[in-house]
């Protein structure tokens, strides 16, 4: 029901822009395009988003420790094993996508794997699996696709809708209004969904990983990295910003109307309250990390280790990511 309402609302915005640009004919064309896009998005939006970010799939052979974390968490969450991807960006961040748990994918950036501890990586990936378990990924992925289309149509309206010979019922003024207001309306829909679902995914993710504190410290590190490390792919595709665990476009910390995510401080406070309710984080991944592929739990405890991702240092002291 939530997905149907979302699609209907974004489709209405899309048609409204078409009407302001080209009258009834423009609205009908926009309706046909939106209908086709909704059908296509249901089946292919996840692939499109992964392609936008140049995500590369990894497995137990190419990234044993990262893959092992996701595998263990998926089992604890009672989920099918999702596909696992790595995004080639230094900004620490992660997202999940897919139309259902049977066709889900999780993606973490190189920056995230290099910056976070194993327990923190587990907390983040548990958060993303919570989105999968709650079926948020379909809603959020389709939102990204249609919102992006609305932005493109608004750009068209801005550059071509202002001509005096267009069919807009309000003339150039209507076209300009559509160009300015439609992206804002689409953005508000994205924000309303993302901000609500992030709190729910934080709570369920903490329960899956067993360590609210690890997720809280991960959020703090990711927010700090996102505030000064640019994600070029996200800047080029801002309609996908709400997919990430932390807004990749800026380091916003204000829980206001125009924030795509809740304030990080508020999320951390909620997680620390949950930790108190759970009686600490002794049940988290930390107690089991020596069992993860590659034994990186032991390497994490070595004082002479240089900064590394969850795969640790390789032979010869050279740190290599799971991409080779």
For residue 82, the 8-state DSSP code is P
Answer yes or no: are the C-beta atoms of 167 and 22 closer than 8 Å.
Answer: yes
Under 8 Å between Cβ of 18 and 29: yes
Phi, psi of 96 (to 5 degrees): -125, 155
Q: Which residue has the tokens 């916003």?
A: 252
Beta strands in 215-282 (DSSP E): none
Contacts of 82 (CB under 8 A, 6+ apart): 70, 74, 96, 98, 101, 104, 105, 106, 129, 132
The secondary structure of residue 86, as a DSSP letter, is E
Which of 131, 104, 151, 111 is CA-nearest to residue 245? 131
Residue 305 DSSP code: P
CA angle 32, 34, 35 (to 5 degrees): 65
Calpha distance 21→174 (Å, rounded):
7
Can 207 be counted among the known catalytic residues? Answer: no
131 has binding-site annotation:
yes
Selecting among 65, 128, 235, 265, the annotated active-site residue is 128
Rg (CA), the chain: 21
Return binding residues for Zn(2+).
Answer: 127, 131, 198
Annotated binding site: 127, 131, 198
* Catalytically active residues, by annotation: 128
């Amino acid at each position: 029901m939530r997905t149907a309402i979302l699609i209907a609302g974004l489709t209405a915005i899309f048609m409204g822009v078409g009407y302001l640009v080209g009258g009834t004919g423009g609205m009908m064309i926009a309706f046909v395009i939106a209908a086709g896009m909704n059908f296509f998005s249901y089946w292919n939006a996840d692939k499109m988003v992964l392609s936008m970010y140049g995500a590369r799939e990894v497995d137990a052979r190419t990234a044993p420790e990262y893959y092992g974390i996701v595998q263990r968490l998926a089992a604890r969450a009672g989920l099918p094993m999702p596909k696992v991807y790595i995004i080639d960006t230094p900004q620490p961040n992660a997202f999940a996508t897919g139309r259902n748990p049977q066709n889900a994918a999780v993606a973490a950036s190189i920056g995230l794997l290099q910056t976070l501890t194993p327990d923190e990586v587990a907390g983040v990936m548990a958060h993303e699996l919570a989105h999968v378990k709650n079926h948020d990924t379909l809603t959020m992925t389709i939102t990204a696709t249609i919102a992006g289309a609305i932005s493109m149509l608004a750009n068209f309206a801005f550059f071509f809708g202002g001509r005096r010979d267009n069919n807009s019922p309000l003339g150039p003024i209507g076209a300009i209004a559509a160009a300015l207001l439609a992206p804002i309306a689409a953005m508000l829909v994205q924000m309303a969904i993302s901000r609500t679902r992030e709190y729910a995914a934080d709570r369920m993710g903490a329960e899956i990983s067993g360590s609210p504190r690890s997720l809280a410290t991960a959020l703090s590190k990711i927010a700090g990295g996102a505030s000064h490390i640019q994600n070029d792919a996200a800047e080029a595709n801002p309609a996908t910003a709400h997919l990430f665990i932390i807004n990749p476009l800026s380091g916003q910390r204000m829980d206001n109307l125009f924030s795509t995510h809740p304030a990080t401080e508020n999320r951390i406070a909620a997680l620390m309250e949950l930790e108190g309710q759970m009686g600490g984080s002794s049940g988290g991944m930390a107690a089991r990390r020596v069992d993860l592929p590659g034994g990186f739990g032991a390497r994490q405890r070595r004082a002479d280790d240089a900064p590394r991702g969850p795969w640790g240092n390789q032979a010869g002291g050279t740190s290599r990511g799971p991409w080779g």
